[in-house]
């Protein structure tokens, strides 16, 4: 991932332009000479640090000998979409890591989220999210807390959009018993998870204590599958003071296996809903 925030479309366009140049066996300097610009401009376009105009796309396709109208049209579409404001521009100040996370959520065709200690973010109630963020970030300002909670609640609307992603939530049973925000908050939270599991695009599985040790039991993550063969999947791993995004083929393969093994270790969806409902009844109002 680049060090500065880039939308998914910006990164896709930059990668396509870089790959086309390599396929044409041209250097940055050669392309710059043909385009009558500086090599720095080409480099910035290929890293997403500079906007790419439709004229640039048209001229680069000519330079690279791209005659397939479908390829040209796809690049033109990416160039248009890359110029649209991303979540960060629309919502204001967020960290690059969080902005990238939200951008991936908005573009992914499927999302697999695995949590060992807490309820997955896209299923959290506002009260649960507020209590959780406040305890995890004890120095957070009230204004920033409000903004983070609002963002988390609005992100959840992605699950009920006309073309929502396929969402798998894998929850270690420990998360059902870790009290966040008090008994009333916990009961409402677990009831929300059961309700969300009824959505046609949502599957919730609980990994029961009886499973014992299993792959990634100490490594929560979110697996984003963009659904585009030209765009690799991305895995998000949250660390203490930052989030890390993994894109290397060997890393993705390892986490894809983890998703399969966690799915196999979990209770089936109905048994999971029953286990969550049972846990919710233990929290008295």
pLDDT per position as a tens digit, 268-278: 999 999 999 99
Q: To the nearest whole number, what is the mean pLDDT of the chain?
A: 88
8 A C-beta contact, residue 13 and residue 75 = yes
**Checking DSSP bridges between strand 221-225 and strand 202-207, what pairing results, if any?**
unpaired
Average pLDDT of the residues in 243-257: 91
Average pLDDT of the residues in 71-86: 77
Pinpoint the residues of the chain covered by CATH 3.30.870: 88-281
- Tokens 């480099």, residue located: 43
- Fold classification of 88-281 is Endonuclease; Chain A (3.30.870)
More confident residue, 73 or 87: 73
Average pLDDT of the residues in 190-211: 97
Pinpoint the residues of the chain covered by CATH 1.10.260.40: 8-84
Average pLDDT of the residues in 35-50: 87
Q: Which two tokens stand for residue 257?
A: 């296996």
Q: Is the predicted pLDDT of residue 210 greater than 70, yes or no?
A: yes
Please report, rounded to a whole number, the percentage of residues in the chain having pLDDT higher than 90. Answer: 62
Count of CB atoms situated within 10 Å of the CB of 103: 21
Q: 168 pairs with which residues across the strands?
A: 112, 203
Q: Is the predicted pLDDT of residue 236 greater than 80, yes or no?
A: yes
What is the pLDDT, as a whole number, of residue 285? 59
- Fold classification of 8-84 is 434 Repressor (Amino-terminal Domain) (1.10.260)
8 A C-beta contact, residue 266 and residue 207 = yes
Q: Hey, is 251 helix, strand or coil?
A: helix
Average pLDDT of the residues in 61-79: 88
8 A C-beta contact, residue 185 and residue 191 = no
Closest alpha carbon to 95 in 233, 193, 242? 242
What is the pLDDT, as a whole number, of residue 95? 59
């Amino acid at each position: 991932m680049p060090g500065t925030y880039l939308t998914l479309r910006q990164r896709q366009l930059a990668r396509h332009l870089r790959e086309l140049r390599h396929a044409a066996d041209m250097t940055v300097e050669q392309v710059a000479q043909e385009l009558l610009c500086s090599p720095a401009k080409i480099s910035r376009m290929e890293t997403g640090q500079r906007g790419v105009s439709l004229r640039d796309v048209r001229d680069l396709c000519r330079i690279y000998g791209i005659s397939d109208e479908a390829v040209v049209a796809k690049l033109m579409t990416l160039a248009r979409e890359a110029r649209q404001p991303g979540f960060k521009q629309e919502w204001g100040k967020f960290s690059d890591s969080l902005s990238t996370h939200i951008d991936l959520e908005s573009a992914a065709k499927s999302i697999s989220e695995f949590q060992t200690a807490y309820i997955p973010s896209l299923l959290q109630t506002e009260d649960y999210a507020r209590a959780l963020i406040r305890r995890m970030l004890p120095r957070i300002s009230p204004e920033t807390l409000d903004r983070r909670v609002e963002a988390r609640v609005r992100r959840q609307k992605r699950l009920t959009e006309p073309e929502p992603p396929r969402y798998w939530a894998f929850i270690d049973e420990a998360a059902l018993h870790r009290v966040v925000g008090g008994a009333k908050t916990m009961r409402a939270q677990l009831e929300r998870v059961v309700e969300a599991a009824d959505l046609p695009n949502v599957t919730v599985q609980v990994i029961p204590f009886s499973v014992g040790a299993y792959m990634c039991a100490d490594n929560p993550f979110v697996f984003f599958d963009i659904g585009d063969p030209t765009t690799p999947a991305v895995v998000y791993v949250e660390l203490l003071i930052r989030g890390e995004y993994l894109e290397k083929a060997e890393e993705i393969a390892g986490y894809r296996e983890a998703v399969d093994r966690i799915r196999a270790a979990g209770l089936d969806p109905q048994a999971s809903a029953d286990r969550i409902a049972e846990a919710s009844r233990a929290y008295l109002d």
